Structure 1
Amino acid sequence: MSILSRSPLALPLVAALALSACDRPNPGTSITVNSSDGETLASVDGKSGEVKLDLPGFSGAFTLPKVSLEADNFELNGVHLYPGSKIRNVDVGNGRDKAFTMTFDSPADPATVRDWFRDKMGEADFTLTDQGGALVGRTAEEKPFRVDLSPAGSNRSTGTITLGG
């Protein structure tokens, strides 16, 4: 079963993000939607703005203005990303080993971002455990998640949020 039949909003999400984008000089957000077999059905390249589709009955590629998603463009149970964060990559996974992975860059060190997530997610009824610096737990709907953070220069960090799996 493909991600499109399990999540009919996946392809419209990719299309809406691509069409609502404005061209920016910096790299935008890359987006990938995979089938249950792990094959890429749709993707948007954040560097070039190229959109590729490989769907039953249709395949093609075209270029649109780059998508650039920021902290307020992501929400999980009312929790956005750390203020000033920029989303680098979104991968709507294959449903077997992960459902969703997002990579982002934040304008603060990992400890500050982790503490911010711990407070906000705690307020939103997440179940949280700190495992070696990563936040691991379940959403209020009992969906598993993980937030990993690493340093990315002076007072900056890179994070990955994984939902499902």
Structure 2
Amino acid sequence: MLPIGDPSVKSSKFLEAVLVNYGEDPYDLVKESIKILQERKGTFLPRENKQMPGMLDWFGWCTWDAFYHDLSPQGIREGLRGLSEGGTPAKFLIIDDGWQDVANEFQKEGEPVVEGSYFGGRLVGIRENSKFRSDNPTSEGTSNGLKDFITSIKETFGVKYVNSLQLF
């Protein structure tokens, strides 16, 4: 028989594991629950008590809808160029999925993409993938990979803030 639970858990008593609340409107219920937790814990503020980040006043672009997992430095540059030429330059950029090394046992190299198979991917390294590194002769990467690429697009297109995400 397999052991039950996480062996690294050292306690069997948890005084603050669950908050139970009830109400008619789920949106009001969540707001009210957050306020109760904030008063109890004192470690965070509800959204309405936080200052909005200044970058929300800027126009931004997320690469996900343009590329999904098929992201490339060239595609990002073309997208930023198109936005600038169209009169809506992006001041912040979210480089979404597709910049890190991911293995997918459900999708074989060179085969047509089967819808949904990309959700079987798993992160295999923190470093940027070969598309963003200069050691790949077909990449537009630079000597310091993603770091230099981001510096370059900031200088070229006036992007002020870049965030790179990985969802795996």
Whichever structure has more strand as a proportion of its residues is 1
Whichever structure has more helix as a proportion of its residues is 2
- Larger Rg, first or second structure (1 or 2): 2
Q: Report the TM-score, using the length of structure 1 for normalisation.
A: 0.23
Q: Report the TM-score, using the length of structure 2 for normalisation.
A: 0.22
| Larger RCO (CA within 8 A; separation ≥ 6) | 2
